A and B are shown apart, each in its own frame.
Chain A
Amino acid sequence: MKTNKLEEIKYFLKYYDGPDMNIMEVCGSHTRAIAENGIPGMLSERIHLLSGPGCPVCVAPSSYIDRLIELALEPKTVVAAFGDLIRVPGSERSLSEAKGEGAKVEMLYSPLDMLELATQNPDRLYVFAAVGFETTAPVFAELLHRAEEEGVENIRLLTAIKTMPPVIQYLMEADAPIDGFLAPGHVSVITGSDAFLPLAKRYDIPFVVSGFSGERLLLALYDLVSCRGRGVVRNDYPSVVSAEGNLAAKAEVNRYFETATAVWRGMGAIPNSGLILKEKYKKYDAGSETLTEDKRKNKACICHEILAGKKKPFECALFGKICTPLQPQGACMVSQEGSCFSYYSHQRER
């Protein structure tokens, strides 16, 4: 971006005095990038940023974590997971806490590493905690594809895969005060920016697909404010996001998964907002469908209201007092992409 254009955008956002504009980001990497770039302080008091349900680890219900702990304590079963998930509290404790009691937990950077582990230890069953959005689903599909090809039998998935457009619809139907969405950069790589068009038209609000640098975020916010009240989708991340998305990845996901109702932490069951294994591939499932219960570890935790954009992290009575990254009471304080973690570690005040 040319310096002049950037300065113009910065000036516009700082001195905007039109009607109030509530903008929600629904991508944990955006939440993090907004804080890391110091964006909140660069905006006029009329522009409000809300962190939505964009952190996959944060929206997994408590029974999902409880089931993982159960599995990890079974004699011949090992649970493999992305690092963030290990410290998320279930109804009583986290995988990390259960590890001290003998739960077998492996932290992996890529689910595909399961193949080697499972091949080397044929007498063990490896269950991957398949948490994620549209972005991660293709990796799980590839894992199954390769397991089939290589004849690896001792792997399973415990799925909590979510999709973004249905939860956005849920928020809008619940009258969330949102005037525009910063559409998720990574999810859009797979879904394509067109995935948000029906929502934009239905609710007359703009969606802008954004990248993650400070400049890109400022540009996207500028576009959102400029399009206030209009049902449009803008793609400000055209170098990696297309209108139709990654068709090959979508086909691979559709081969193994189908949409279903999914339970979001604190928000309940949302129709068509999840991906579960198709009947034909249920043999790879470690019991995902029964996991609908969602209990709060601490009754005062307001993660659900924060995820829905109704409250800010610092409005929670537990925030920074009982609930800190060292002693998280809710999932949003655990993940680096969680709203509470981000607000806490950057001491965000707006």
Chain B
Amino acid sequence: MSERISMIHGSGGAATAALIRDIFTKEYGGEALESAEDASVVIGAPRIAITTDSFVVSPLFYPGGDIGRLCVCGTVNDLLMRGAEPRYITAGFVIEEGAEIEALRQIAHSLAETAREAGVEVVCGDTKVVEGDEGVFINTTGVGFVSEEVDIAASGAKAGDCVLVSGTMGDHHAAILSRRLAVENSIESDNAPLVETATKLRSIRTHSMRDVTRGGLATVLKELAEASGKEFRIFEEKVPVSDAVRDFSGILGLNPLYMGNEGKMVAIVDPADAKHALEAMRGSRYGENAALIGEVREGEPGAVVAQTRVGGLRKLSVLQDEGLPRIC
């Protein structure tokens, strides 16, 4: 096999078959994928959650992860946030001419490892090659099973509920940006599948869950406040941010409340279960820095109000400027 991807790998003929066999099936082939049928037939459930996402992150490899790990985390986390148990994922690759085959192998390997960690099976895939500049893009669809009694939605917040986050804000954004600016620091992406945390929260009175991705915590809270018609009040000094991310964002004039993650979530929990939820988060993998950051009030519907360190109040809006392109 040649060292780099060329148009022949997208021919649909022998070279495509060899690429699929030697890389994709080898790394994550299960019964469904190996059957090589036009469509996979799998076991279902009465209620399923389904989500789709495309990954265009640049660079493909960054401190703490790569596009292979990212595409599983992003998809699985979206399923988890609706109270689903993730089961299946698909992987459609669009590969630009000139991409290194070894890089592709690493991406597939990392995708496979993360899928195993998250407990999902890669059930089908697709491979296309286009002209371009060594890029790799992945489209995924995820399917999860949702039991009858689960009712977790963005609109679920009730007055009195507690607002929790599962860890430090802004890590993925800061890691990608550091890499692009060639700044050396200790910041790593937090890309992670939140299976353990979300599974525990599903069994208590959790009213809403959202993973904190593009747009950052402020944008997610604003969406939840608007969907539920409640006011969210948060205390800025309780929002966890690592020292490295705080310093880095301070220098660049960025606000961690508006920076994206790929392995952190917000949970809106009944006050009676808040202590239990916080312990569950902190006891889960990737949740050691979880914190209770605020509460839900009747107040002004749709408003997110932050109490600042000096005791002032300010309203948060969704992200207004462009943010960082190609972060996920």
B166 to chain A, nearest CB (A): 24
Complex: how many Å from CA A41 to CA B320?
Answer: 22
Q: Does B311 contact A (CB under 8 A)?
A: yes
On chain B, the residues within 8 Å of A336 by CB distance are 253, 321
- Which of A155-163, A189-197, A239-247, A342-350 lies at the interface? A342-350
Q: Does B40 contact A (CB under 8 A)?
A: no
B306 and A38 contacting across the interface, CB-CB below 8 Å: yes
A109 and B181 contacting across the interface, CB-CB below 8 Å: yes
B313 and A38 contacting across the interface, CB-CB below 8 Å: yes
B320 and A38 contacting across the interface, CB-CB below 8 Å: no
A313 to chain B, nearest CB (A): 14
Q: Does A215 contact B (CB under 8 A)?
A: yes
Complex: how many Å from CA A39 to CA B307?
Answer: 11
A325 and B320 contacting across the interface, CB-CB below 8 Å: yes
- The prevalent SS among residues of B at the interface is loop
Q: Which of B314, B316, B320, B321 contacts A37 (CB 8 A)?
A: B314
Complex: how many Å from CA A39 to CA B308?
Answer: 9
Complex: how many Å from CA A80 to CA B315?
Answer: 34
Q: Does B44 contact A (CB under 8 A)?
A: no
Q: Does A112 contact B (CB under 8 A)?
A: no
A39 and B317 contacting across the interface, CB-CB below 8 Å: no
Complex: how many Å from CA A341 to CA B319?
Answer: 12
Q: Does B312 contact A (CB under 8 A)?
A: yes
Complex: how many Å from CA A10 to CA B309?
Answer: 13
A37 and B317 contacting across the interface, CB-CB below 8 Å: no
Which residues between 1 and 41 of chain A lie within 8 Å of chain B, taking CB atoms?
6, 10, 29, 35-41
Q: Does B310 contact A (CB under 8 A)?
A: yes
- The prevalent SS among residues of A at the interface is helix
B320 and A10 contacting across the interface, CB-CB below 8 Å: no
B69 to chain A, nearest CB (A): 28
Q: Does B35 contact A (CB under 8 A)?
A: no
B321 and A41 contacting across the interface, CB-CB below 8 Å: no
Complex: how many Å from CA A325 to CA B317?
Answer: 12
A37 and B181 contacting across the interface, CB-CB below 8 Å: no
Chain B 291-315 interface mask (CB, 8 Å, partner A; 1/0): 0000000000000001111111111
On chain A, the residues within 8 Å of B310 by CB distance are 6, 10, 37-39, 42, 214-215, 218
Q: Which of A6, A214, A341, A344 contacts B308 (CB 8 A)?
A: A214
On chain B, the residues within 8 Å of A214 by CB distance are 308-310, 312
Nearest neighbor of A349 in chain B, beta-carbon distance:
B315
Which residues between 234 and 270 of chain A lie within 8 Å of chain B, taking CB atoms?
none
B321 and A38 contacting across the interface, CB-CB below 8 Å: no
On chain B, the residues within 8 Å of A109 by CB distance are 181, 252
Knowing A36-B255, A109-B181, say if A347 contacts B317 (CB, 8 Å).
Answer: yes
On chain A, the residues within 8 Å of B315 by CB distance are 346-347
B309 and A37 contacting across the interface, CB-CB below 8 Å: yes
Nearest neighbor of B316 in chain A, beta-carbon distance:
A346
B308 and A36 contacting across the interface, CB-CB below 8 Å: yes
Nearest neighbor of B258 in chain A, beta-carbon distance:
A345
A346 and B309 contacting across the interface, CB-CB below 8 Å: no
Nearest neighbor of A335 in chain B, beta-carbon distance:
B321
B314 and A344 contacting across the interface, CB-CB below 8 Å: no
Complex: how many Å from CA A41 to CA B306?
Answer: 12
Complex: how many Å from CA A336 to CA B310?
Answer: 22
Complex: how many Å from CA A214 to CA B314?
Answer: 12
Complex: how many Å from CA A38 to CA B309?
Answer: 9
Complex: how many Å from CA A35 to CA B7?
Answer: 53
A38 and B312 contacting across the interface, CB-CB below 8 Å: yes
Which residues between 16 and 59 of chain B lie within 8 Å of chain A, taking CB atoms?
none
Which of B181, B252, B255, B320 is packed against the most chain A CB atoms within 10 Å? B320
Name 24 A/B residue pairs within 8 A (Cβ), A-sorted: A10-B311, A35-B314, A36-B308, A37-B308, A37-B309, A37-B310, A38-B308, A40-B312, A42-B311, A42-B312, A214-B308, A214-B309, A214-B310, A214-B312, A218-B310, A325-B321, A326-B320, A336-B253, A336-B321, A344-B317, A345-B317, A346-B314, A346-B315, A346-B316
Report, nearest first, the 3 A-B pairs whose CB atoms are least far apart.
Answer: A38-B312, A214-B310, A38-B314
